[in-house]
Structure 1
Amino acid sequence: MLSKQFFFTLMTAAGLAAASDASDVHQLKTDNFDEFIKSNDLVLAEFYAPWCGHCKALAPEYETAATELKKKNIALVKVDCTEESDLCQKHGVEGYPTLKVFRGSLDNPSPYSGQRKHDSIVSYMTKQSLPAVSVLTKDTIDAFKTSDKVVVVAYFNADDKASNETFSKIANTHRDDYLFGAISDASVVEAAKVKAPGVIVYRNFDEPETVYEGAFEVDAITSFVKTTAIPLIGEVGPETYAGYMSAGIPLAYVFVEGDEQKAKFVTGLKNLAAKHKGKINFATIDAVAFGAHAQNLNLEQKWPAFAIQKTEKNEKFPFDQTKELTLEAIEEFSNDFAEGKLKPSIKSEPIPETQGPVYTIVAHNYEEIVMDEEKDVLVEFYAHWCGHCKALAPKYEELGALYFNNPDFAKKVTIAKVDATLNDVPDEIQGFPTIKLFRAGKKSEPVDYQGARTVEDFVKFIKEQGTHSVDATDALANKDTPAESAGKAAPAASEAAEEESTASASTEAAAEETKHDEL
C-alpha cells in the first residue's frame, strides 16, 4: 500500500555513530537532561534504542545536522532509552526513534515532523529558530531569498494591515514547511516588479522566481505555494515524499534504473508535466533503491515502470507492464487519467471464509466491516514483516476475544486488522502498526490511537472514544482464574521478558525492513 509510512528513511546497515569527544550530539542522561534543556533556547532531542534499525539509519544524518546547527546555537541531543527508561517514559516515548523539539522549557515539547536526513533536519530546526514571518529589509532580503530550497516573500505597502494578517496566518500554519518573509520598503517592492500586496516564491530549482498574481486570500496563496514548491519533474525519495503526499493532487511515478534512463524520461516528459502542472505531479523514483515500492502501486518490479496515484483517496492506476513503456504511451495514459477514462486497480487478499475474535479485513470486505454504522470498529493497519506488529499480536488477540466472547459487547464493538501491504484501503497510514477507531455514526472521522499498546489502555480508549462507550474494564479484570494467575511470572520477570521480546521483534523488523527499501 502506498501511504505515509513509506515516508520513513531507507533502512541502512550503518551503525550508531560512536560517542566521542568530537561528536556535536550531546549524550544526555537523567541527571543532566532537565538542566540542559532549560539552559538552551532550542533543542532537538532524539530518544532512541541501540538495537533500533531506524535509529541506526538516522545516526550519521543526526551527527552531520548537529555540526551544521551548532553554528546557529541550536543543540541536538540524544537519550538511550535502554539505559534511561524512566526519563523516556516521563516524556511519553513509545517508539524509536522519537524526536521532540524543546524551547528552553520541559513543558509542551512539540514532535519533530521533518524528514530524517541531515539537510531536512537543518532546514526544519532553522525554521523553528525564526519567527513565522521574518521582517526583511533591503539589506537582508537577498540573503533570505536563498536561505532554503523554497522561500516565500510577501511585498506589502507599509499601512496594509489586512494583507499582513492574511500572510501571517498562512505562515503560522506552514512554518514547518517553508521559510516566510515580508518587506514593506517601497523601493524594494518597486524593484521586485510586483504589485503590492504580492507574493514571490523563490526556489533553488526550475524557475528561480515565481510571482503570485491572484487574490490575496489564504486558500489561494496556500495552493499556489504548495504547487510552486514542487519541481516540474522531481524525484520521489525520503526527502520529498511527504511534500508530494500533502500536495493534494495525483502523483505520477516513473521508476527508472540509472542516470541515463532517468535523463531520458525527465527530458521527454517536461512538456507533459507542464501541461498538467497543478493537476498531476510527475516524478522519477530510483528503481534500484526503492524498487520494492512498486508493489504498493500494484506494479511488478520490472523497469522502467509507470503509475499514477490519487493521493487523497489512495487509488492506484498502474500502467500495463505487458506493454512497452514509451514517452508516447505515458502521455496517452496520463491524458486518459486526467479525462477520467481510467479505473483504479484494487489489490486484495481473498475474503476469509470464517472470522475469529480479531476480524481479518481485506480490500474487498473493508467497507462491510469498517463502515458498519452500528459498531465501533478498532482497526490495526499492519505489515506482515513488521516486528512491532508481531509483538503486539498476542495482546491484540486477547483484546479481540474480550469483546468477541461477550454477546453484548460483540453487538457494539469489533476488533479488526488489515495487512496494509497486501490490501488497498482508503486510509493514509503513517507507520506500522497504525491503529484507528472508526466510531458508529461517525465513520468519516476516525480517531487515531496514540496510547500504550496494552489491553488495559485499548479498553480505556474504546470506552472513552467509542460512540457506544462500551466498558470492558470489569470483564478484563475478571478474565483470569486463580490458577492462571498463579502460573504467571513475577512482574519484574514478566516485564523483562516482554522487553526482550519487543527488542527481538524490533531487531527482526529492522532486518526485514532493510529488504523492502521503502521510502
Structure 2
Amino acid sequence: MLPKQVLISLMVAAGVVSASDVHQLKEDSFDDFIAKNPLVLAEFYAPWCGHCKALAPEYETAATELKAKGISLVKVDCTEESGLCQKHGVEGYPTLKVFKGTTDNPSAYSGQRKADAIVSYMVKQSLPAVSVLTKDTLEEFKTADQVVVVAYFKADDKKSNETFAAVAEPLRDNYLFGATSDPALAEAAGVTAPGVVVYRKFDEPVVVYDGAFEADAITAFAKTSAVPLIGEVGPETYSGYMSAGLPLAYIFVEGADDKAKYSDGLKELAKKHKGKINFATIDAVAFGAHAQNLNLEQKWPAFAIQETVKNTKFPFDQTKELTIESITSFVEDFAAGKIEPSIKSEPKPEKQEGPVHVVVAHNYNEIVLDEEKDVLVEFYAHWCGHCKALAPKYEELGKLYFDNPEFAKKVVIAKVDATLNDVPDEIQGFPTIKLFPAGKKSTPIDYQGGRTVEDFVKFIKENGSHHVDASVEKKDEPAASAETLGEAAPAATDAAEETASKSAEKKESSTSTEAAAETHDEL
C-alpha cells in the first residue's frame, strides 16, 4: 500500500483533490495581495506548530466558503518569511490578523478556530457595523447568523439611529446588526418604532425588546438574548460565557438522557433568573477535567456556579444527591447571597525564598495587590511544558530586581500555579503573564511580547508605575524560535493555544486551568 502522503500527492496531481483556496504568500507578494483584496484573513504559522496543524483543515474549509463571498484567506510560513512575520509583530503561532485593503493597522482575529466561526467572523468584518435593510434584504438577513439584531425606527429619527450605532460598533464582532426605516416592516414585525428585535437560531426565534431606547439597556438585552436559556459549554461557547459578565451555572452530565433530564427540569429556574445567571450543560465525558477548575471532584452528575467576573466558584456539595429540587434550592440561596465561595489554595509559604515570589490564593492580595509595587505575575500550570521552559529565564529576570535593594522596593516578580490556587482573573492560557502596576491594581496589563529577559525588562520599564530600568546587555537570540515562542497564544482569544499540547506533553493543555484547557482544546 502506498504511504498516505504519496497517495495524496498522486490524487492532487490527478485532480482528485481540489487545489487549496488558501493563498500561500511570501514577502515579495504579501503587500501586493493585501492591496488588491479588500478583506483578508492572514495566518502566520510554523510547520512544526501543532496548533497550526489542527487549524489547517478548518482554515481550508472556511477559505472555500468565503471565496464565494469575495473574502480571501492567506497563510505565511514564518520559518521561511521571518522578516515579514517580525514586521507584523508575530510572537506566537498561529497568529491570525485581519487586513482591510492595506497592511497598516491590521486587527487581531478574535474568533474561534472552527470553520463556521471563521466564516461568521469574517462575514461580520465585511459588513458595516449596521447594515441598512429593505423589504428585499430583511428576511435573508434575519437568518444570516446565530444571533441577528435589527432596529426599526423612523427615517427622521436621528437620535435612535445614533444610539443603535453606538450599541452595534463595540459588538460588531459578536452579532450582526441591521436597521430599517420602512414603517411597513416595523408593522409586520409587531414593533412600534423605535424598536429592536433579536432573531436567533435557538429557543424562541424572535425576541422583542420592550425597554427604553437607550444604549446600555439595548446592549444588555442583546447580550442576554444571545445566550440560550440552557445552553451547552463547549469549544464554540466557552469564551462567550466567560465574557458575558454573568454567573455561569454548570451542569455536568453524562449522555443525552442526563442532558435532557436536567435541561428540561431546570427550564423554569433558568427563565426566572434569565439575565442574572446563565445556565449550561457540559459534557462530563469530554470535558470532565474542567470540574477541578470549579473545585468539584470528577463524579457525575455535578453542579457548580462560577462568578465569571470575580472568578469565584460555588460547587454543589457532592456528598448530597443532585436533583432538580436540590439544584433549585442551591441556586436560590446563591442568588440571595447565602452561599460562601469555595477557595482552593496551596499552603501559604512561611517565607519567600529565591528571586521569584511564590503566590497562592491565601497571599494573593498581600503580594499581587500591594499598591506600593509593580508586580509581574506568571500564571502557570505545574504540568505545562512551555511554563517549564520559561522558568530559567523567569528566575533570571527575578534576580535583576531581587538582588538590587532599590529595585526590590519597587518591583516584584511573582508566579502562581493557577491550577492549584483560585485567582481573581479567569486565566485562559499558560503561561499567562500580567503586570499589576503600583497604584493601578484594578487594571492589570497583559504581557504579549517575546519571552526573553530583555523583553520582560523593557515591558516593566514602560508599563510599570515606577518605570524601573533593569536593562542588561542584550544577547543575540533567534527570532520566533520554538524555544522563545513555543506554541503559546499571543492573545487572550487563543485561550486554547497550549491546550492541544496537553496530548503531546502529558497530554498538556492551556486554559484557565488544566480542566478548562481540555474544554478549549476541543473548541
Secondary structure of 1:225's counterpart equals helix
- 1:112 is displaced (CA, Å) by 0.4
- Indicate the residue corresponding to 1:364 in structure 2: 362
1:157 aligns with 2:154: yes
- Indicate the residue corresponding to 1:456 in structure 2: 454
- Indicate the residue corresponding to 2:473 in structure 1: 477
Pairing of 1:388-399 with structure 2 (within 5 A): 388-399=386-397
User: Residues of 2 paired with 1:298 and 1:144: CA distance?
Assistant: 43
Cα 1:257–1:282, aligned 2, differ >3 Å: closer, same or farther? same
> 8 Å contact 2:252–2:283 — kept in the other structure?
yes
- Indicate the residue corresponding to 1:318 in structure 2: 315
- 1:30 is displaced (CA, Å) by 2.1
User: Residues of 2 paired with 1:257 and 1:85: CA distance?
Assistant: 47
1:513 aligns with 2:518: no
Could you tell me which amino acid in structure 2 is paired with residue 445 of structure 1?
Answer: T
User: Residues of 2 paired with 1:164 and 1:175: CA distance?
Assistant: 16
> 8 Å contact 1:391–1:502 — kept in the other structure?
no
Secondary structure of 1:425's counterpart equals coil
> 8 Å contact 1:53–1:510 — kept in the other structure?
no
User: Residues of 1 paired with 2:126 and 2:383: CA distance?
Assistant: 39
User: Residues of 2 paired with 1:290 and 1:346: CA distance?
Assistant: 22
Cα 1:150–1:367, aligned 2, differ >3 Å: closer, same or farther? same
Q: Which runs of 5+ in 2 are unaligned?
A: 1-7, 489-497
Cα 1:503–1:273, aligned 2, differ >3 Å: closer, same or farther? closer
User: Residues of 2 paired with 1:441 and 1:496: CA distance?
Assistant: 34
> 8 Å contact 2:451–2:485 — kept in the other structure?
no
> 8 Å contact 1:39–1:104 — kept in the other structure?
yes
User: Residues of 1 paired with 2:479 and 2:169: CA distance?
Assistant: 45
- Indicate the residue corresponding to 1:61 in structure 2: 58
Runs of 4+ residues over 3 Å off in structure 1: 17-21, 494-510
- 1:402 is displaced (CA, Å) by 0.6
- Indicate the residue corresponding to 2:376 in structure 1: 378
User: Residues of 1 paired with 2:283 and 2:203: CA distance?
Assistant: 20
1:408 aligns with 2:406: yes
1:273 aligns with 2:270: yes
> 8 Å contact 2:398–2:412 — kept in the other structure?
yes
- CA RMSD in angstroms, aligned pairs only: 2.2
Q: Which runs of 5+ in 1 are unaligned?
A: 1-16, 479-487
- Indicate the residue corresponding to 1:179 in structure 2: 176
- 1:239 is displaced (CA, Å) by 0.6
Secondary structure of 2:519's counterpart equals coil
- Indicate the residue corresponding to 2:300 in structure 1: 303
> 8 Å contact 1:132–1:175 — kept in the other structure?
yes
Could you tell me which amino acid in structure 1 is paired with residue 401 of structure 2?
Answer: Y
Q: Which has the higher relative contact order, 1 or 2, with Cα contacts under 8 A spaced 6 or more apart?
A: 1
Cα 1:278–1:31, aligned 2, differ >3 Å: closer, same or farther? same
User: Residues of 2 paired with 1:339 and 1:273: CA distance?
Assistant: 15
> 8 Å contact 1:388–1:509 — kept in the other structure?
no
Pairing of 1:41-440 with structure 2 (within 5 A): 41-355=38-352, 356-440=354-438
Secondary structure of 1:260's counterpart equals helix
Could you tell me which amino acid in structure 1 is paired with residue 519 of structure 2?
Answer: E
The share of aligned pairs that are identical, in percent, is 76
- 1:334 is displaced (CA, Å) by 0.8
Pairing of 1:492-507 with structure 2 (within 5 A): 495=478, 499=482
User: Residues of 1 paired with 2:400 and 2:503: CA distance?
Assistant: 31
Secondary structure of 1:181's counterpart equals strand
Alignment deviations for residues 102-125 of structure 1 (CA, whole Å, 9 cap, x no partner): 111111100000111111111100
- 1:251 is displaced (CA, Å) by 0.4
Aligned length: 488
- 1:429 is displaced (CA, Å) by 2.2
- 1:54 is displaced (CA, Å) by 2.0
User: Residues of 2 paired with 1:419 and 1:93: CA distance?
Assistant: 27
Please point out which of 439, 442, 457 is paired with 2:440: 442
Secondary structure of 1:222's counterpart equals helix
- Indicate the residue corresponding to 1:7 in structure 2: none
Secondary structure of 1:418's counterpart equals strand
Alignment deviations for residues 404-438 of structure 1 (CA, whole Å, 9 cap, x no partner): 01111111110001111111010132322221111
- Indicate the residue corresponding to 2:5 in structure 1: none
- Indicate the residue corresponding to 2:4 in structure 1: none
- 1:390 is displaced (CA, Å) by 2.1
User: Residues of 2 paired with 1:80 and 1:419: CA distance?
Assistant: 34
Output the TM-score relative to the length of structure 1.
Answer: 0.90
Cα 1:334–1:503, aligned 2, differ >3 Å: closer, same or farther? closer
- 1:272 is displaced (CA, Å) by 1.0
Secondary structure of 2:508's counterpart equals helix
User: Residues of 2 paired with 1:325 and 1:166: CA distance?
Assistant: 45
Output the TM-score relative to the length of structure 2.
Answer: 0.89
> 8 Å contact 1:236–1:285 — kept in the other structure?
yes
Alignment deviations for residues 79-132 of structure 1 (CA, whole Å, 9 cap, x no partner): 222222222111111111111001111111000001111111111000000011
User: Residues of 1 paired with 2:261 and 2:343: CA distance?
Assistant: 30
User: Residues of 2 paired with 1:454 and 1:421: CA distance?
Assistant: 25
Cα 1:497–1:452, aligned 2, differ >3 Å: closer, same or farther? closer
- 1:160 is displaced (CA, Å) by 0.2
- 1:53 is displaced (CA, Å) by 2.5
User: Residues of 1 paired with 2:157 and 2:111: CA distance?
Assistant: 33
- 1:496 is displaced (CA, Å) by 9.1
User: Residues of 1 paired with 2:338 and 2:327: CA distance?
Assistant: 14
- 1:513 is displaced (CA, Å) by 2.5
User: Residues of 1 paired with 2:64 and 2:53: CA distance?
Assistant: 18
Secondary structure of 2:348's counterpart equals coil
- 1:352 is displaced (CA, Å) by 2.2
User: Residues of 2 paired with 1:499 and 1:57: CA distance?
Assistant: 17
Secondary structure of 1:384's counterpart equals coil
- Indicate the residue corresponding to 2:491 in structure 1: none
1:465 aligns with 2:463: yes
